[in-house]
Structure 1
Amino acid sequence: MWKLLIWVSLPLVSSKCYWNNPNPYPYFGSKTPYDTVRGDFRDVPEIEAKFRQNRISADANDFSECEAVSIWFMIRHGTRRPNAPDTKIMKKASYLKDNIIHKRTQGKGEMCAQDVDDLRKWMWNPKLDYKRSYLTTHGFQELFEFGQRFSQKFANFLEEVNSSVLRPTSEQRTQQSIKAFVEGLRGINQSFPIEDYILNDPVARPYRYCAKRGSQIINGTRAISEIQRFQETEEFKKVQENVQRRTGLSLELKPNTIKGLYDLCRFYRSYTLLKRSPWCSLFSDDDLKILEYVEDVQHYFKNGFGDSLNSQTGAAGLKDLYEKFHHVTKTGHKSITAYFTHDTMMDMIYSAMGFYEDYPKLSGFERKKDRKWRTTFLTPFAANFVAVLYRCPKLPSTTYRVQFLKNEKEVHLCGARLCSWKQFWETFHRFTKANLDFCDDDTYVYSV
């Protein structure tokens, strides 16, 4: 009887502990640190070397003297602090900390002792209360290192650039990100001035002042209704039950509270040196995969294929890409163009190109596990889409080829490493007709 009483008094500890898990689930949607999913410019084979190896089977043309003559890219800012709405939800959820610890002393819950101890040591960062959405120190480092790798890969090109456009949006996080990138371009005997932001930027942030998108999407209910629909599924309810059981809490955990706990996990995790947060111990890997889908649905309907206005808006950025490259083919002047923007714009340009579209479409009805639209890989912190225009003088026909990279990994848009100029024209020339006239709608005005 005495042995039975001892066994009953012990907490129902889970067989898995977060604190010493060698491979915790690393994917957190748009709050995923860049290093988790990125490639490396320096590992992308040189054009000439790769084609020389595959000359017979791949292409009989001579790429031996190809040189980069123009680079265009859009890049999201690095890791940031949460915005005002997220901060409010996170802070409210953080008040559960003492209750969770207390339940552990009562022998309730399934959390490991060390996980609870780490949670006990955790403290709210007061900077979140007044430096909302600011770039973190880690976020600055992400863009600094991106600049270093970029300059090592394209050093010869950068030394010979004739003109440059480097422009952030009006936010502190993009302005600090572009500063970090330029600082990373060390060893380049060339200066790259940073342009002032444009308040209503028609390329880097056209959605910000698109009134029709505001009234139809931002003030619309589609994204919210799809998320609420998913939160009614057995799969999401299982997450609620799991967290309730793991923490030993008696009060019902509403979806908004689950979101707050999830954000405490992923935000704090994203800018700590060890990439860990004790709040992540509240979730299993399966729980995190399900919560990751919630954000994918949100981005899908607010920024992506869920509404045609998003691809129309994203077309404005791609119009700039085509025009910049076309100008170089006419003038021969080498140029670099870089816009430091936000995950919304990254989503929109992928939608405009038709990248990563799912059939059947995403919805809140059930989770599509093998989906292409995953914000973790599309728009992590410091996400980027890079296009490189090459001049290849030894080719017998049109001498220009275009290479594409996403998060420093090569993307084969045309089925091969390089698109011919004709293939590039067929894909991007249509964006020259893009305009934002459809945005005129005085029923909605963005707040500054």
Structure 2
Amino acid sequence: MKFLIMTAMCFCVKTVLTRDCYWNTGCKYKYFSSKTPYEIVRGDIRDSIVKPEGCETVSVWSIMRHGKRNPSTRYAKDIKYILKHYKDYIVSSYEIGNSSLCAQDIENIKNWKIETSLLDEPNEISNEGYRELFDIGSRIKETFPELLSKLQENEYIFTPGFGSRLEASAKAFVEGLNDHKLVITKVYGDYTFVAPYSTCGKYQVDVRNSPDLYHEAEVYEKTEEYLNMRERVANNLGLNFVPSSDNITAMYDLCRYTWNGLQRKPSPWCAVFTVEDLKILEYVGDLRHYYRNSYGATKFSSVLGQLPMADLLRNFQLAKCGKGKKIVSYFTHATMMDMLIVVFNLYKDPTPLQGSYRNVNRKYRSTFLSTFGSNLIAVLNRCRKAHTYDFTVSFYWNEKPLTEICNKGTCSWQEFEDIFKPFLNATVDICEFKWSNID
């Protein structure tokens, strides 16, 4: 089953200058692996929703990654190093004529001020991330106003996994539904449906904490293509040394963490890189996700990803009988979103991603799979057929129809059960023991 990525074509007219400048480039490259703002890749459930004639929605199930967050402690430290040791150097290099950057790009970097919370509150959800989840909830409420009005306590479930950013994301989503009486159900220790990998001992040992976890990404960072990128950055900035991979990553993080998707406001730090540089750095993110959470860890992802899908089937079976919830929403991490893709065999390339070679036409793109706020939404419709009812289930990824499942994203009830019933057999037996050191 293939899930081809459809990206918007950007047609623009660029002012003719003596050199390429970032500040006035009409079509900026804005795909930053899993750190891409949700606004850049999302659809709109209000426009995407399939409304079969004679049908009504009886249940909505969703699972979504938290909104945009701040960098972790380690990466925040690297960013602080860049701000302390590189920022003034970049400006002075331009002033003495060594830099290839444009005057306005340098001025934008020089005048740029960091929000203190970005580095002082590691891993916490940002204001933009909070708004991302609020807006998703708001659009869902607008799409299903009758179903989601005046919800009673037994008609919904909102459950975040571990971490304050997931709890904040759930809070933002519920606020977007505009019903202040709704209660968020927190779970402690049992993340079977929302993040089963977090307590899966064997996965944590064999994959997440393996010393070889990022081997392919490390191989790629030794390729001629990657090394040339580092030298290109040094030359463009007028540096008399080549930045380390860690320093390159820190500048890249400044670019992508401060790129405001909601305001459509690019970060001045992205001027450090060419479009080709950004594509190379995006591929590093692809390799890390591929082997940590996705097809490179199929032994675990293909099983653990089935657990929330079994929950989806159970909820819709109950809703079909008039006993289910009107809405169920789980809030998770990028790992879970990557695993769901494996379950449905989507975005899969004929050969595994490799550190020795970057396939520019690859299907697997973490930018479109596990970006901030990424989500899977399933909608159960009840349709009147003569003297009885029929049911359909429609799927959406990032609020766009998941057309590779069934008929352009909409399954008959029989098709839905045929696909999902095997997931009921999924267990955590593969984990062997419970991992208690949840990070």
TM exceeds 0.5? yes
1:160 CA displacement: 7.5
How far apart are the structure 1 equivalents of 2:423 and 2:282? Answer: 32
Paired residue for 2:233? 243
Structure 1 residues 415, 233: CA separation in 2 closer, same or farther (over 3 Å shift)? farther
SS in 1 for 2:40: helix
Percent identity for Structure 1 against Structure 2: 35
SS in 1 for 2:419: helix
Structure 1 residues 136, 363: CA separation in 2 closer, same or farther (over 3 Å shift)? same
Paired residue for 2:422? 430
Paired residue for 2:165? 173
1:14 CA displacement: 7.4
Paired residue for 2:66? 77
How far apart are the structure 1 equivalents of 2:392 and 2:374? Answer: 24
Paired residue for 1:9? none
Which is worse superposed, 401-410 or 134-143?
134-143
Give the AA of the match of 1:384.
N
Matches within 5 A, 1:172-211: 172-186=164-178, 191-211=181-201
1:115 matched to 2:105:
yes
Instruction: Work out which of the residue numbers 308, 311, 320 in structure 2 matches 1:317.
Output: 308
1:40 matched to 2:39:
no
TM-score by length of 1: 0.88
SS in 1 for 2:214: helix
Structure 1 residues 160, 287: CA separation in 2 closer, same or farther (over 3 Å shift)? same
How far apart are the structure 2 equivalents of 1:300 and 1:333? Answer: 35
Paired residue for 2:10? none
Structure 1 residues 235, 102: CA separation in 2 closer, same or farther (over 3 Å shift)? same
Which is worse superposed, 286-295 or 321-330?
321-330
How far apart are the structure 2 equivalents of 1:304 and 1:273? Answer: 31
Q: Cα RMSD over matched residues?
A: 2.2
1:280 matched to 2:270:
yes
Whether the 8 Å CA contact 1:313–1:436 is kept in 2: the answer is yes
Paired residue for 1:372? 363
1:294 matched to 2:284:
yes
Paired residue for 1:131? 121
SS in 1 for 2:327: strand
1:126 CA displacement: 3.0
Whether the 8 Å CA contact 2:202–2:430 is kept in 1: the answer is yes
Structure 1 residues 15, 213: CA separation in 2 closer, same or farther (over 3 Å shift)? same
Structure 1 residues 163, 260: CA separation in 2 closer, same or farther (over 3 Å shift)? same
Gaps of 5+ in 2: 1-16
1:288 CA displacement: 0.6
Give the AA of the match of 1:40.
D
Structure 1 residues 195, 441: CA separation in 2 closer, same or farther (over 3 Å shift)? closer
Paired residue for 2:12? none
Query: What per-residue deviation string (whole Å, max 9, x for no partner) do you get for residues 332-384 of structure 1?
Result: 54521100111111111111222211111211121121222111111121111
Larger radius of gyration: 1
Whether the 8 Å CA contact 2:56–2:383 is kept in 1: the answer is yes
How far apart are the structure 2 equivalents of 1:251 and 1:228? Answer: 21
Give the AA of the match of 1:361.
P
How far apart are the structure 2 equivalents of 1:281 and 1:81? Answer: 21
Matches within 5 A, 1:130-149: 130-149=120-139
1:79 CA displacement: 1.1
How far apart are the structure 1 equivalents of 2:252 and 2:377? Answer: 31
Matches within 5 A, 1:92-111: 92-94=81-83, 95-111=85-101
Paired residue for 1:30? 34
Which is worse superposed, 333-342 or 107-116?
333-342
How far apart are the structure 1 equivalents of 2:301 and 2:87? Answer: 39
Whether the 8 Å CA contact 1:136–1:271 is kept in 2: the answer is no
Paired residue for 2:407? 415
1:355 matched to 2:346:
yes
1:447 CA displacement: 4.8
